[in-house]
Amino acid sequence: MLIIFRIYMKRLFALLLFLLPLTISAQHFGGNPPSLKWRQINTDTVRVIFPAGLEAQGQRVSDIVHYLNRYTRSSIGNLQQKVNIVLQNQTLESNGFVQLGPFKSEFYLAPPPSPLELGSLQWEEQLALHEYRHVLQNMNFRQGISKVFAYLGGELGQAAVTNIAVPNWFWER
| Residue 39 in this model has a pLDDT that exceeds 90 | yes
For residue 147, the model assigns a pLDDT of: 80
C-alpha triplet 135, 139, 144: angle, nearest 5°: 145
Give the closest residue to 25 by CA, choosing from 39, 35, 37, 17: 35
CA dihedral 73, 76, 81, 87 (to 10 degrees): -80
Mean pLDDT for the chain overall = 84
Q: Mean per-residue pLDDT for 86-100?
A: 90
SS3 109: strand
Question: What is the per-residue pLDDT across 109-164, written as a single tens digit (0 to 9) for each?
Answer: 988 888 777 778 889 999 999 999 999 988 888 888 888 888 888 888 888 888 88
135, β-bridge pairs:
none
For residue 26, the model assigns a pLDDT of: 56
Distance CA 61, CA 169 (A): 25
Question: What is the per-residue pLDDT across 47-72, written as a single tens digit (0 to 9) for each?
Answer: 999 999 999 999 999 999 999 999 98
| Residue 88 in this model has a pLDDT that exceeds 70 | yes
Give every CB contact of residue 23 below 8 A, 6+ residues apart in sequence. none
On whether the CB atoms of residues 93 and 86 are closer than 8 A, the answer is no
Q: Mean per-residue pLDDT for 35-45?
A: 93
Q: Mean per-residue pLDDT for 76-91?
A: 90
| Residue 27 in this model has a pLDDT that exceeds 60 | no
Name the more confident of 82 and 5.
82
For residue 154, the model assigns a pLDDT of: 84
Distance CA 161, CA 156 (A): 9
Q: Mean per-residue pLDDT for 68-96?
A: 89
